[in-house]
Amino acid sequence: MSLEYYLSRQDTEKKLTVLGEVIADRATAALTFGDTALLETNLSTLKADTSILRGCIYGEDQKLAASYIAVDHLKDTCPDNVPRLNRNTYNFSQYFTISRDKTPIGTLFIESSRKDLLQRFNQFLIFSGIIILAAVVLALFLANQLKDVIARPMRDLSNTLRQIVNDKDYSIRAVKENNDELGDLVDLFNGMLITIEDENVSLKASEERFRKLTALSPVGIFQVDPKQKLQYVNQRWRDIHGLTNELPDLQDWFEMINPKDIVMVQESWNRMVFDQESIALEIRLVRRDNAHTWIHLLASALHDRDGELLGYLGAISDISELKAAQIQMENLAFYDPLTGLANRRLFKNRLEKAVKSVLRSGKSMALMFLDMDQFKRINDTLGHDAGDILLKAVATRLNNTVRENDTVSRIGGDEFTILLTDVQQSQDVLVVAEKILKALSRPIRIKGQDIVTSVSIGITMTPEDSTDVNTLMKNADLAMYWAKEMGRNNFQFFSEDMNHSILEHLALEKELKEAIQRNQFTLVFQPKVSLFDYSTTGVETLIRWEHPEKGLITPDHFIPVAEETGQIIDIGNWVLEQACRQISSLLREGILPPTAKVAVNLSAKQFTDPNLVQHIRTVLEITKIPPQCLELEITESTLMEDVETAIAIMQEIKSTGVAIAIDDFGTGYSSLSYIKRFPIDVLKVDRSFVMDIPDDKNDMAITAAVIAMAHKLSMNVVAEGVETREQLQFLRQNNCDEGQGYLFSRPLSLGQLHRFLIENKARRENGTYHI
């Protein structure tokens, strides 16, 4: 506005200047000549401009020379003298110098009214107002129009969007009204909806597929959200857990895991959550119905395309059957199916590991080798099923005797091993060995019978004795053998001396081979005496080895070796033949009565030798000894090894007319039912029962019972090892038939026997016989 006013004012002032300068120029001559009329004519040109209020020309003397007053302002006059210029007046006024030859000769004063200017300005204002008003009206109009054209479609679009969001219905479409930019926007929006709908459809299809797949899946599937909440499980998952419909908490699920596996599961779960590691575990579940289920668990974290965590997805499969099969396979491969103990393979494996650990830790470990005494006999007597029950009972007792860390194994028929780990001193092992012997000494009831069993235990220590697994096994075996030698039902620690003895044993084996050819064996005969009249009823043949360097070697030392190597067959045959040859002369000479018998010991190997009976017949024939004068002593243990075969062999022997005596009776776990079936003529009560008479009441009772029983079975009873008068008295009181022992005579050479028989006969005949 002010600009407009300023420009109008400048226009007015410029116009006034042009007008003033023209009039001043024209007034030069009229003023020179004082022609007032011409001056006024000149001034009258001011009429043309209605805004001029007055024009005044003053001469050189400053006196008014001519004037013009606008008709509307006749009340105004020109002052007589040149008026002062007053800028504060409402009107414009301006002075123009009238010059002649550049010399001022007068002054023109023109006053112009601002009225036009203001009028023009007002007009401008009015016009501007009208324009603005029109513009506003137009703007409002246009805005209204625009509202319809732009805002409504936008509102429609946003309503559509709101409806889609509220209803989650992506099939709704925005309506396109125009083919303008908004139309394009609607097209784009609808295009986007189509894409979302397509993606939704494929997502729903994929979800449906996922649900169907998981519903039909043979594996249990579960989903956990990022906040560790179990979000989804399929039916199979519920079935495996024995759950119906409820979805348990993750914590509840963890509580269904076997306590032995829970630490492992939690550690793996934490690794999955914090380190994004996948889980693959085999664990046990304890279901609500208390059933145990082995499962294979797989789980891993689930992320979207941007790596944002969506949760965890996992699968479980019921591997109980697989595990059972695996356990069964492992059991078959590593465990003894009868006792459930570790087998030889597993034992060796554990022994190897234990030796390595001993080398690392610097601690000691003991290996025990156990062999059941007389197992074969029990097995044969009571049957294999009874043998199995016995083995199982022994296994249980062994297991209960040792600590959980120790390994008890069955490595063969009646052979067990025990690995005692973390041993401080050999005294600890000794305590365990004693505990084992004690545990096994309690009778085991099988088929209504109380069976007493025992074991012989060999013990070796590592690293003390060796750190080689095979050597340790050999050591323990050797020590066990030693325990057997020491009378069974005991334990022996391995020592290098045992090794030494084995070397001796090997040397003995070698020398035995040559002993027969070199005639190093001799025979001695121990008389058997009637306990009724002290007559000599027979003799027992006992072998002796006269070693050229070692002197006299008793059969205890070489018979077991000969038995092991099989040399006993040759040695036994030699004894049988020699005994018959030597005694036949005594019989022929009548020094031995015709009722007397020469007894020869038969070892187990001899007894089962298929040529035995033929050999007996040959010997009888060669030596001309009557069969009824020959008696074969077979130990109870030999007979009990294979009862049925023993009966058959005995019957064959009996068919030759030769008598059979059961030796060492009472030590071989015979059962009465078998004794009854054995074709036995003589029963020899073992020396171990006689030796403690009269101190051991048990032994006395047993001996008395055995004598009574043998008599009931029509057997002759011979008591072995009679050394004292008390023993003799007891045996006589209990009607024992015969006695053999140092009380009557020690084993005698043939010559000594000859003398003994004659002297004994004479003493009895002349009544000087006394004991």
Ligand X SMILES: Nc1nc2c(ncn2[C@@H]2O[C@H](COP(=O)(O)O[C@H]3[C@@H](O)[C@H](n4cnc5c(=O)[nH]c(N)nc54)O[C@@H]3COP(=O)(O)O)[C@@H](O)[C@H]2O)c(=O)[nH]1
| Spatial separation of the C-alpha atoms in residues 552 and 556, rounded to whole Å | 12
Interface residue with ligand X, options 261, 406, 642, 720 (CB under 6 A)? 720
Degrees, nearest 5: CA angle 112-115-117: 85
Within 13 Å of residue 247, how many CA atoms lie on the same side as its CB? 11
Q: Which residue is nearest to ligand X (CB)?
A: 741
| Spatial separation of the C-alpha atoms in residues 170 and 163, rounded to whole Å | 9
CB of 548 to ligand X, least distance (A): 20
Degrees, nearest 5: CA angle 247-248-254: 145
Assess 543 for contact with ligand X (CB under 6 A).
yes
Residue pair 66/57 in contact (Cβ under 8 Å)? The answer is yes
H helix and E strand count, the chain: 26, 25
Packing angle of the helix pair 612-623, 568-588 (nearest 10 deg): 30
Segment near ligand X (CB under 6 A); pick from 261-269, 379-387, 539-547, 753-761: 539-547
CB of 562 to ligand X, least distance (A): 8
Q: What DSSP element (H or E) covers 371?
A: strand 364-373
Residue 60 or 723: the one with the smaller Cβ distance to ligand X is 723
The two three-digit tokens of residue 399, written as one number: 């297991």
CB of 603 to ligand X, least distance (A): 4
Residue 20 or 572: the one with the smaller Cβ distance to ligand X is 572
Residue 173 or 687: the one with the smaller Cβ distance to ligand X is 687
Residue 339 or 727: the one with the smaller Cβ distance to ligand X is 727
- The pattern of x and - marking residues 582 through 601 that bind ligand X according to CB under 6 A reads -------------------x
Contact residues for 743 (Cβ-Cβ < 8 A; gap 6+): 722, 723, 724, 725, 727, 728, 771
* Kind of pairing between the strands at 52-58 and 92-100: unpaired
Assess 638 for contact with ligand X (CB under 6 A).
no
Within residues 643-672, the interface with ligand X by CB under 6 A covers 663-664
Residue 234 or 601: the one with the smaller Cβ distance to ligand X is 601
CB of 606 to ligand X, least distance (A): 7
Residue 668 or 741: the one with the smaller Cβ distance to ligand X is 741
CB of 686 to ligand X, least distance (A): 7
Assess 567 for contact with ligand X (CB under 6 A).
no
Interface residue with ligand X, options 316, 479, 575, 658 (CB under 6 A)? 575
* Kind of pairing between the strands at 738-739 and 716-719: parallel
| Spatial separation of the C-alpha atoms in residues 162 and 165, rounded to whole Å | 5
Segment near ligand X (CB under 6 A); pick from 19-27, 317-325, 407-415, 717-725: 717-725
Task: Using alpha carbons, list the distances in angstroms from residue 414 to 170, 339, 371, 640, 646.
Answer: 81, 11, 6, 16, 22
CB of 748 to ligand X, least distance (A): 11
Interface residue with ligand X, options 660, 721, 757, 760 (CB under 6 A)? 721
Assess 637 for contact with ligand X (CB under 6 A).
no
**Which of 442, 440, 459 has its CA nearest to residue 367?**
459
Assess 540 for contact with ligand X (CB under 6 A).
yes
Task: Using alpha carbons, list the distances in angstroms from residue 717 to 509, 548, 665, 684, 740.
Answer: 36, 39, 10, 6, 11
Within residues 117-136, the interface with ligand X by CB under 6 A covers none
Degrees, nearest 5: CA angle 459-461-466: 120
Interface residue with ligand X, options 747, 756, 757, 760 (CB under 6 A)? 747
Within residues 283-312, the interface with ligand X by CB under 6 A covers none
Interface residue with ligand X, options 343, 407, 490, 603 (CB under 6 A)? 603
Segment near ligand X (CB under 6 A); pick from 99-107, 111-119, 538-546, 609-617: 538-546
CB of 744 to ligand X, least distance (A): 8
Assess 609 for contact with ligand X (CB under 6 A).
no
Interface residue with ligand X, options 79, 226, 340, 555 (CB under 6 A)? 555
Segment near ligand X (CB under 6 A); pick from 118-126, 171-179, 443-451, 550-558: 550-558
Assess 461 for contact with ligand X (CB under 6 A).
no
Interface residue with ligand X, options 6, 33, 127, 742 (CB under 6 A)? 742
Evaluate the CA torsion angle 203, 208, 211, 212 in order and state its sign: negative
| Spatial separation of the C-alpha atoms in residues 652 and 715, rounded to whole Å | 19
Classify residue 91 as exposed, middle or buried by CB count within 10 Å of its CB (0-12, 13-18, 19+): middle
Assess 554 for contact with ligand X (CB under 6 A).
yes
Residue 386 or 736: the one with the smaller Cβ distance to ligand X is 736
Residue pair 407/353 in contact (Cβ under 8 Å)? The answer is no
Segment near ligand X (CB under 6 A); pick from 57-65, 138-146, 540-548, 726-734: 540-548
Residue 400 or 611: the one with the smaller Cβ distance to ligand X is 611
| Spatial separation of the C-alpha atoms in residues 48 and 55, rounded to whole Å | 13
Degrees, nearest 5: CA angle 220-225-227: 135
Residue pair 23/55 in contact (Cβ under 8 Å)? The answer is yes
Which residues contribute to the site for ligand X (CB under 6 A)?
A: 526, 540, 542-543, 554-556, 559, 572, 575, 601, 603, 663-664, 720-721, 723, 740-742, 747
